[in-house]
Amino acid sequence: MRMRLKLKTVFVLYFMVSLLGLIYALMQLGQRCDCRDHDMSRDVQISQLRGELQKLQEHIKTSELSKKNDVPKIFVITPTYARLVQKAELTRLSHTFLHVPQLHWIVVEDAPQPTPLVTDFLAASGLTYTHLHKLTPKDRKLQEGDPSWLKPRGAEQRNEGLRWLREMGAAAKGKEAAGLEEAVVYFADDDNTYSLQLFEEMRYTYRVSVWPVGLVGGMKFERPVVEDGKVVRFHTGWRPNRPFPIDMAGFAVSLRLVLTNPQARFDGDAQMGFLESSFLQNLVTMDDLEPKADLCTKVLVWHTRTEKPKMKREDALQKQGLGSDPDVEV
């Protein structure tokens, strides 16, 4: 009897104390504890931080991106050529592409052989890529001092990209071929600006999909005009009577269409502004175009152009033999 009484009071006592302790602990949960007495040496701390950084970086690379395997692939063809801003342009372009799942970047250099700059860059980019090269014949190439609109640029390189795709498409078998059924091809110049939403819009393209492009054709944006879900005409300030008055960045083509039309290519001799038409008119009619970007009312890609950096001091130094170290890659 005596034992029981003792137990009861003890139980009540410890219950009250534990309850108070629990409440106190729960209140403490919201506060930051004062942990300044972690007396680690600086080097150990730095190495710990670096290790943490490594972990985070690896996490980025192997994150959901790789898990998303069931969406159609996007093949992006980018013609590029050597000039001062090339590495910068490719760098910021790669940052955009790294966010897009199932993207395969086809970089085609306007060069007789692959350059070390692009080779090393692509290897370090973290992207899935194919590195090609095709030299533009001299008579089609823009000379120093030519205005940029004089000759169409990148036609040979884009055709080379298409050729590679057709080769790959023909060689693909079984599961790989099935994966390419719904793939999409997009022509992305290395100086434009692309939003991430754009790639999700173009991903589901049956034939050819289209959308507005900002800052092109001398206007804030050019766009297809959509009525009842179909493209009826194009809103552009310059030569609207072209078969397809649309910028290279304003459309995407399904890979299936590219593979089933092996003769479709860009005409390097086309008149100014007709490069896109030379390719599209063999593939699709205006009626078949699929409007994206909220029925072509949103601008998701901008035709930005980068200034040529002023090199007058560099040139002056070079003349004196005091130019900057050519081993430093810019």
Partner 1 sequence: MLKRRDVLALFLILLPWALLVTLWHQRAVNPLIPVPKDNRTGATRRGYRLHESCITENKRNTKATQMKYFHQRPPPWSDTLPTLHVITPTYSRPVQKAELTRLTNTLLHVPNLHWLVVEDSAQKTALVSRLLENTGLNYTHLNVETPENLRTQKKPRNVRIPRGTMQRNLALRWLRENINPNSSHKGVVYFADDDNTYSLELFEEMRWTRKASVWPVAFVGGLRYESPKINSQGKVFGWRTVFDPRRPFAIDMAGFALNLQLILSKPQAYFKLKGVKGGYQESSLLQDLVTLRDLEPKAANCTKILVWHTRTERPLLVNEGKKGFTSGNVEV
* Catalytic residue list: 276
Identity at 271, one-letter amino acid code: Q
Structure tokens at 121: 């860059």
Helices 116-125 and 86-97 pack at an angle, to 10 degrees, of 20
Is 79 annotated in some ligand binding site?
Answer: yes
Query: What is the CB-side half-sphere exposure of residue 24 using CA atoms within 13 A?
Result: 6
Q: Report the distance separating Cα 122 and Cα 119, nearest Å.
A: 5
The mark string for 216-245 relative to partner 1 (x by CB under 8 A, - otherwise) is: xxxxxx-x-----------x-xx-------
Stretch that binds partner 1, among 132-140, 164-172, 263-271, 295-303 (CB under 8 A): 295-303
Q: Report the distance separating Cα 106 and Cα 121, nearest Å.
A: 13
Is 163 annotated in some ligand binding site?
Answer: no
Q: Report the distance separating Cα 303 and Cα 322, nearest Å.
A: 37
**Range 296-325, binding partner 1 (CB under 8 A):** 297-299, 302-307, 309-314, 316-317, 323-324
Question: Is the backbone of residue 295 left (phi > 0), alpha (psi -120 to 50) or beta?
Answer: left
To 10 degrees, the CA torsion angle through 264, 270, 275, 280? -30
**Range 58-77, binding partner 1 (CB under 8 A):** 59-60, 63-65, 68
Among 213, 189, 216, 211, smallest CA distance to 200 is for 211
**Range 84-143, binding partner 1 (CB under 8 A):** 84-85, 87-89, 91-92, 95-96, 98-101
The mark string for 6-45 relative to partner 1 (x by CB under 8 A, - otherwise) is: -x--xx--x---x--xx--x--xxxxxx-xx---------
User: Toward partner 1, which CB reaches closer, 197 or 260?
Assistant: 197
Q: How many CB atoms lie within 10 A of CB 235?
A: 15
Residue 198: phi and psi, rounded to 5, are -55, -45
User: Toward partner 1, which CB reaches closer, 69 or 260?
Assistant: 69
Structure tokens at 330: 């810019």
What residues does 330 pair with on adjacent strands?
none
User: Toward partner 1, which CB reaches closer, 128 or 285?
Assistant: 128
User: Toward partner 1, which CB reaches closer, 80 or 159?
Assistant: 80
Place of tokens 């219950």: 15
Is 305 annotated in some ligand binding site?
Answer: yes
281 binds partner 1 (CB under 8 A): no
User: Toward partner 1, which CB reaches closer, 287 or 325?
Assistant: 325
Is 92 annotated in some ligand binding site?
Answer: no
Is 256 annotated in some ligand binding site?
Answer: no
Stretch that binds partner 1, among 4-12, 154-162, 255-263, 269-277 (CB under 8 A): 4-12
Binding site members for UDP-alpha-D-glucuronate = 79-81, 110, 153, 158, 189-191, 303-305
Q: Residues forming the annotated binding site for Mn(2+)?
A: 191
